[in-house]
Amino acid sequence: MDYKAYISEKLKIEGTDKSEIYSSLALPPASDMGDYALPCFKFAKILRKSPQTIAEELKNSFVNDEVISEVSAVNGYLNFKVNKQKLADEVLSTVLKAGDSYGSSNNGAGKTVCIDYSSVNIAKPFHIGHLSTTVIGGALYKIFKFSGYNVVGINHLGDYGTQFGKLISAYKRWGDKKDVEKRGIHAINELYVRFNEEATEDMEAEAREYFRKIESGDKDANELFEWFKKLTLDYVKGIYDKLNVRFDSYAGERFYTDKMQPVVDELKQKGLLKESDGAKIVDLEPYGMPPCLILRSDGASLYATRDLAAAIYRKNTYDFYKCLYVVAYQQNLHFKQVFKVLELMGKPWAKDLVHVAYGMVSLEDGAMSTRKGKVVWLEDVIEKCVQKAYSVINDKNPALENKEEIAKTVGLGAVVFGALYNNKIKDITFSYDKVLSFEGETSVYVQYTCARANSVLLKSGNAFAEVKNYAPCEQEAEVIKSLAAFPEEVTEAGEKYEPSIIARYAVDLAQKFNKFYIDCKILTAEGDAKNFRLALTKATLQTLKNALSLLGIGVPEKM
């Protein structure tokens, strides 16, 4: 049952609709205050009464029933206590029946969400800086899919620009085909770094000429480019598989080469294209922004040109409900400009474009530069996490079977969770020791909780009877309430484009379950208490699995 919806239906507040009441209902800071609370301050102006008076009047008009056991008015808040027995019956029955689909919904039925994320650069390192866009986008993909949307994951490849002319020039000078075939992207990157270290004016001119050849369809130049692209995609797809991330489209910048001129023509036709020092711009000064550069003075396109073409193509192709761009906050201005230009072009769907900005990820030793070769490859971060996970697991449980596979699940989970636990806009300093801790706010802690729950169920033989009208104790009730909240947490994570909501929920549920596990006997309990606690354990394990799955994280049976 959606208790917030139930309460909203029963409350009558003049000048306020049910949806506003629903969105205002929240969880009280302390459980002894109630299960839900309605702050009445926002209704004071409408009703011309104090929040305390409003709360008291609503309390007096609310009829308690078998669902809501108690209503109280405290300092302008209307607090509701749910019938714990009924809540327990309903939640356990719902979770155990739904299984892997618990928390899912049909909220997005008939709607398509496009998500542009990861956006790797061809022939450049897939480094630690790509972690956030990749795992945030991957989590949002799963969250929206779980909520009934049709989701299109787009990897907007960086496959256009003079750097490919530089790479061809470098390969022609110093490249070795066997070495590149063997070492792939690592060999390509070394050539690119060397070019930037040794480049002369003549070499730069040569690189521009090779890029021109790519654009003009030169066979040799394009064969080399496609080879570099294949080597890059083969490499990054291996990492995507490890991170449980998928895409439906790899249409990159180059894909829009023949789709930019119609955009330029439309801007000109609508009187939006202006000339400035030989370049073509859209003047955004009236909207508090610098001009959006569409064509350079030499006629070359820019990121904005390609993003305008991409947005129009995606709308025409997918007819999206929302189109998300999971890109670092440094591009805030760029996306504001692009969205405003589309709005000025008369595209009513411009309002459905969303920049999902995130902070930067770095290791404790600082920043990176692709040109100078000072990068931290994401594969190295993953490998180090897996190795450290193996070491930690081996120390804690040396007799554990399949330690290598378990270490992979734990190590990969730590990489993903480490990037998702904090609010996405925050900068993150990635710490191996912190993300692999069995204590605190980590995926390892949640996975270990799952292993603990699984162990209890295995020892019981997974045999327990359904229990009705059981009066849960405080620790049991806290777990039940947390389980009940999961579907709403999933919805909120989608609405706010914030996977950290799911990550924090998983930690909170794990903490509540562990308190219950320590304080309440399970296997040695008897009768209804034992059956109820085993059902509660199984429901918790299922919900934690579902939550971690939405983040792209697996759960080992033992740890």
Tens digits of residue pLDDT in 235-257: 999 999 999 999 999 999 999 98
* Contact partners, residue 496, CB within 8 Å, separation at least 6: none
The answer to whether residues 126 and 239 touch, using CB atoms and an 8 Å cutoff, is yes
pLDDT score recorded for residue 276: 92
pLDDT score recorded for residue 326: 97
**Lowest model confidence (mean pLDDT) among 14-18, 132-136, 438-442:** 438-442
- pLDDT tens sequence across 511-520: 999 999 999 9
> In the predicted model, is pLDDT for residue 318 greater than 50?
yes
Token representation of residue 343: 């709005």
The answer to whether residues 393 and 408 touch, using CB atoms and an 8 Å cutoff, is no
Mean pLDDT of the chain: 92
The answer to whether residues 396 and 165 touch, using CB atoms and an 8 Å cutoff, is no
Mean pLDDT of the 59-84 span: 90
Mean pLDDT of the 467-486 span: 93
pLDDT score recorded for residue 364: 67
pLDDT score recorded for residue 127: 86
pLDDT score recorded for residue 370: 47
pLDDT score recorded for residue 315: 98
Distance separating alpha carbons of residues 189 and 379, to the nearest angstrom: 15
- pLDDT tens sequence across 160-181: 888 899 999 999 999 999 999 9
Distance separating alpha carbons of residues 384 and 320, to the nearest angstrom: 39
* Contact partners, residue 399, CB within 8 Å, separation at least 6: none
Helix count (H) and strand count (E) of the chain? 21, 12
Mean pLDDT of the 320-337 span: 97
> In the predicted model, is pLDDT for residue 295 greater than 80?
yes
Mean pLDDT of the 15-22 span: 90
Mean pLDDT of the 225-243 span: 93
pLDDT score recorded for residue 68: 92
- pLDDT tens sequence across 361-398: 777 665 454 445 567 888 998 999 999 999 989 998 89
pLDDT score recorded for residue 423: 85
> In the predicted model, is pLDDT for residue 555 greater than 90?
yes
Report residue 422's pLDDT band, with 50, 70 and 90 as the boundaries: confident
Q: What is the pTM of this model?
A: 0.91
**C-alpha distances out from residue 427 to 329, 422, 531, Å:** 10, 9, 45
Please give the residue that has the higher pLDDT: either 121 or 507.
Answer: 507
pLDDT score recorded for residue 372: 52
pLDDT score recorded for residue 218: 92
Report residue 338's pLDDT band, with 50, 70 and 90 as the boundaries: very high
**Lowest model confidence (mean pLDDT) among 24-28, 307-311, 530-534:** 24-28
CB atoms within 10 A of CB 140: 25
Distance separating alpha carbons of residues 99 and 107, to the nearest angstrom: 19
Distance separating alpha carbons of residues 87 and 82, to the nearest angstrom: 7
The answer to whether residues 136 and 416 touch, using CB atoms and an 8 Å cutoff, is no
String of DSSP letters for 302-349: -HHHHHHHHHHHHHHHH--SEEEEEEEGGGHHHHHHHHHHHHHTT-GG
**Lowest model confidence (mean pLDDT) among 136-145, 236-245, 433-442, 462-471:** 433-442
